[in-house]
A and B are shown apart, each in its own frame.
Chain A
Amino acid sequence: MLAQRVPNAPEDTEVIVVCAGQPANLPAMQRTLRYAQLMLAPAGTTIEELRVLALAQASGDIVTLVSGAESQPNAVVDRGLARP
């Protein structure tokens, strides 16, 4: 599900995934999202807190925040500043 939410991230895009607690499928997630930076927050961390943690880690000028379902990890897609 997470891979679908963060599709085709360009090379210059920083992808940060923050999870509340250690997910059971962590190895699979690491394989699927090789380009992503995985962060583990304490279990019980709220979605809003996960988003703030992710933002603090992001270095880009444009930050797109994508939340999973309650049981899903939170993801941040950090894009470079794009101009038309």
Chain B
Amino acid sequence: MPTSLRLSVVVPCRNAEASLADALRSVLASDIARQSYEVIVVDDGSTDACQAIAARHADTLIRLGAGRRGPAYARNRGAELARGDVIAFVDADVRVRPDTLSRMLALMAQQPTIDAVSAGYDDHPSVPGLASQYWNLLLHLRTQRAGVAPGQFMAACGAVRRGAFFAVGMFNEWHFRDRLEDVELGHRLAEMGHETVLVRGIQVAHLKRWTVGGIVSEMWGRSLELARCLTFERARSLASSEMVHTFITLGAFGVATAATVEPAPGWPVTVSVAVLMLLIADRALFGFFLRRRGLGFALAIVPLHVLTQLVGAAAVASGWILRHTIGDPMPDPTTQAYAEVGVDVWPPVPRRR
């Protein structure tokens, strides 16, 4: 559906040559008139062929130079240069469908009260391998579950009105350098009265290849950051359902381990109960894997799932300890000092409550 809204597509990337061309081609294959949108790639210090790939497909390339500044910083720099009424963020490992961006724009044109629209991951990730299939399907399920909750924004493929984005202070590049910056932005948008929606029917493909180590690292970083940022009022609601699942899994694992290390009469029953606890806690997840990939896949991912949950629980505990010993991660002292006395800096630093 044609709309009068002009669109800027911002694609941050760092060493993403494996998927960047695919991602950019999918954006350029969108069913939107080419003259009504621009594509801005922000290269965050890549050492691979990202810049050359961007030059082939993008309208503008921003080179941030050597070093890594993180996706929040990169997206903010891209947004500053964007000229569109709506800014769509698309990750370098995401393939949009031809109608993804046009449906987002159409929704925002039809409903002016909606300030941000996010897409979810689809349920047939193309990257093979148990780890990639597991994690990408898990992300699909999470975005499907999250769709009903307010304040959802997914920067992997999310569009936001320019005015709303700048009014709330863009991505928080000081506090959330690597992860959760989009979740935090969604909560901040909602908190400041901007309506955000995650439309389950608008979907994109995740092209990221995951290893077990990568999943563990992601889970650790995400959970650690989640726990360390709990002092911010707006981030409190982040730690809800995920943690309940994590601690139930941890409890089940502990019971099963204790029963097998020091076997007592009736230990098979204890282990069975623990496994049952695990299945009940994540029944929706295992049921989903069972339906989509069969019994073999659902059973095969149990050890990986337990591992990620254990890592998540350990990271949450570590984050809690860090928060109560070192405190929150903060911007550099000068920036923070300016923010505390109310002097605006750019980009804005979120003030403590």
Contact = CB atoms under 8 A, between A and B. Distances in A.
Interface of A: 48, 51-52, 54-55, 60-66, 81-84
A82 to B, nearest CB: 7
A6 to B, nearest CB: 14
A21 to B, nearest CB: 20
Given A48-B57, A84-B346, 18 more contacts: A48-B56, A51-B55, A51-B56, A54-B55, A55-B51, A55-B52, A60-B63, A62-B60, A62-B61, A63-B62, A63-B63, A64-B59, A65-B58, A65-B59, A65-B61, A66-B59, A82-B80, A83-B346
The majority secondary structure among interface residues of chain A is: mixed
Contacts of A81: 62
Contacts of A60: 63
Contacts of A48: 55-57
B64 interface: yes
29 contacts: A48-B56, A48-B57, A51-B56, A52-B52, A52-B55, A52-B56, A55-B51, A60-B63, A61-B62, A61-B64, A61-B65, A62-B61, A62-B62, A62-B63, A62-B81, A63-B55, A63-B60, A63-B61, A63-B62, A63-B63, A65-B55, A65-B59, A65-B60, A65-B61, A81-B62, A82-B80, A82-B81, A84-B80, A84-B346
The majority secondary structure among interface residues of chain B is: mixed
Contacts of A61: 62-65
B55 A55 contact: yes
Interface in B8-48: none
A26 B285 CA distance: 65
Contacts of A62: 60-63, 81
A48 B56 CA distance: 5
A55 B61 contact: yes
B60 A83 contact: no
A34 B65 CA distance: 29
